[in-house]
Amino acid sequence: MAESKSKRQKLFAENDAVVDRINHFSRFLDLHKAPYLQTCRITYDFADCCSDLVDTWVNNVAAREVEELDLVINRDNDEWKPLELPHRVYYCKTLVVLKLLGRIMIDPPPSFQFPSLKKLGLFRLAYKSNSFFRLLSGCPVLEDLSFEREYSEGVNNYKICVPTLKSLSISQYDCVQFDYDNEINPDNELNYKLEIHAPAIEYFQFNGHLGDIIFLKELGNLVHADINICTFEAGEHWEEECYADRVFKLLDTLYNAKLLSFFSGYSKCLSNGCTYPSQFQNLEQLDFIVNTWNWHMLQALLKNSPNLKVLDVTNKKSPADPVCLSSHLETFYFNEVKGLEHEMEFVKYILKEASILKRPMTCLLTVNKVYFFDWCELQFSGIRPPLLNMTMCQACLFPPFAFLV
C-alpha cells in the first residue's frame, strides 16, 4: 500500500515538473518581444497533447520571422488523430529550413507559398488528399527534400514536381495504415506510387521498401546515388516479378551517377532477369552489398562501367561467371571475407583480371580470422600481377594489424 502511494506521488511530481516546463516556455515566448527569431526547435513528447497550446507556440514563433523551424510531435497512441499544422506556418515568408516529424497533419490552404524555403524535411506525417503535392507546389526555390513515408494515412500516390531540387532522400517503412476519414486503409504498403519530376537532382537516396517509383525526366545531373532496399516477402509470383522489375528499373535510372552505393535486398525474385542501360559511363566508385540473388547485377554493372576506379564489395557469395573489370580500376575493397571457397575464387578472378590495368591498383581485404592470412597468402601468391598492391587486415582487430602480400 505504501509502495503504491509512493508511485502515485512520484507520478504527480513528474507531471508537476512537466507542467512547470510548459508554463515556463509559454512565459518565455510571451516575454520575448524581439521581432526576429533565427532558429526554433519544439518537441512535444507527451500523450495528452494540447493542440491549442502547440498552436499558440507555433503561431508565436511564426510571427517572429523565423528562418528555421523544427517541430516534433510525439504521441503514445498512434491511433489518435494527428495535430494539424497551424495555418500561420504556411504564410511564413522567411522560412529557409522547415522540419516536421511525428503526428502532424499536413493540409495547406488553397493559396500559400514558401518563397525562401530551401530545405524541407517531412518525417512520418499524415496528409490530407493531394496535400503532399500542394505543399511542394508552394516551394518555388526548394533544393533539399527529405521524405519519410510511415504514417501515410490513406495516401498511396505521391507527386514530387520540383525543378529546383538538388537533393532528394526517401525512406519507406512498414506501418499500420490509418485513414481518419475511412478508418483502416486495407491497401498494401508496397503499392504506393511516387512520380518524380526533378531533373536537377545531384544526390538521390532511397531506404526501405520499394514501391512504384517513376522518374519523369532523366537524372542528367546525378552525382551520387545511395540505395538500400529492404527485403520483400511476396505473397504471389506476380508480385515477385513486379518487385524485381521495380528494382531493375530504379537501377536503370541511376546510370549517370559518379558514385553509386547499392543494395537490392535479399529477394529470390532478383535472380531472374535484369535490364541495364548500355553504359554507366560516368561511374567512378561502386559500393555494392552482394548476396546469393544479386551477383549477376554486380556483374552487369562492372561490364557496363568502363571508367570505374573504386570497387567496394561487401560479403556473401561470389558469381560463378567471370566479371569484366574496367582498365581504369584503382581500388578494390572486399569486406568481411570469411575464407569461403566462392569468396576466394572471386578474389582470384579479380587478381587475374587485374593484368589489364593501366595503372597500379590497391586491393584491400578485411578478413574475420587471423589464421586466414597464411592461407590467403598461399592462395594469392602466384597470381598477383605486378601493378597490384594488395593488403589484408583483420576486421575489428585491436591493435590494428595488416599483412602485405
Domain boundaries, the chain: 25-179+186-221
Burial label, 226 (beta-carbon count in 10 A; 0-12, 13-18, 19+): middle
More confident residue, 23 or 14: 23
Kindly indicate the confidence band of residue 241, based on its pLDDT and cuts at 50, 70 and 90: low
State how far the Cα of 285 lies from the Cα of 301, in Å rounded to an integer.
11
More confident residue, 381 or 279: 279
Q: Which residues of 299-315 are buried (b: 16+ CB within 10 A; e: fewer)?
A: bbbbbbbeebbbbbbbe
Q: Record the cell numbers describing residue 197, joined without a space.
A: 519530376
Output the DSSP codes for 155-210.
--EEEEE-TT--EEEEEE-----EETTTEE--S-GGG-EEEEE-TT-SEEEEEE--
Range in 27-41, 58-72, 309-323 the model is least confident about: 309-323
pLDDT at 63 over 50: yes
**pLDDT, tens digit (0-9, with 9 covering 90-100), for 197-238:** 999 999 999 998 888 899 999 999 999 999 998 865 554 544
The answer to whether the pTM exceeds 0.75 is no
Q: Record the cell numbers describing residue 169, joined without a space.
A: 532522400
Top-ranked range on mean pLDDT: pick from 134-143, 266-275, 357-366: 134-143
More confident residue, 254 or 172: 254
pLDDT at 88 over 50: yes
Pairing of strands 388-394, 402-404: antiparallel
The pLDDT of 274-296, averaged and rounded, is 79
pLDDT at 189 over 70: no
Three-state secondary-structure class, residue 404: strand
Q: Record the cell numbers describing residue 139, joined without a space.
A: 516551394
pLDDT reported for residue 186 = 38
More confident residue, 328 or 319: 328
pLDDT reported for residue 259 = 97
pLDDT reported for residue 243 = 76
The pLDDT of 1-28, averaged and rounded, is 52
* Mean per-residue pLDDT over the chain, rounded: 73
The pLDDT of 83-91, averaged and rounded, is 90
pLDDT at 250 over 50: yes
pLDDT reported for residue 64 = 82
Burial label, 275 (beta-carbon count in 10 A; 0-12, 13-18, 19+): exposed
Name the percent of the chain lying above pLDDT 90.
29
CA distances from residue 161 to 3, 122, 255, 401 in whole angstroms, order as listed: 59, 16, 21, 51
Contact indicator for 103, 77 with CB cutoff of 8 Å? no
Kindly indicate the confidence band of residue 5, based on its pLDDT and cuts at 50, 70 and 90: very low
**pLDDT, tens digit (0-9, with 9 covering 90-100), for 121-154:** 999 898 888 899 999 999 999 999 999 987 445 5
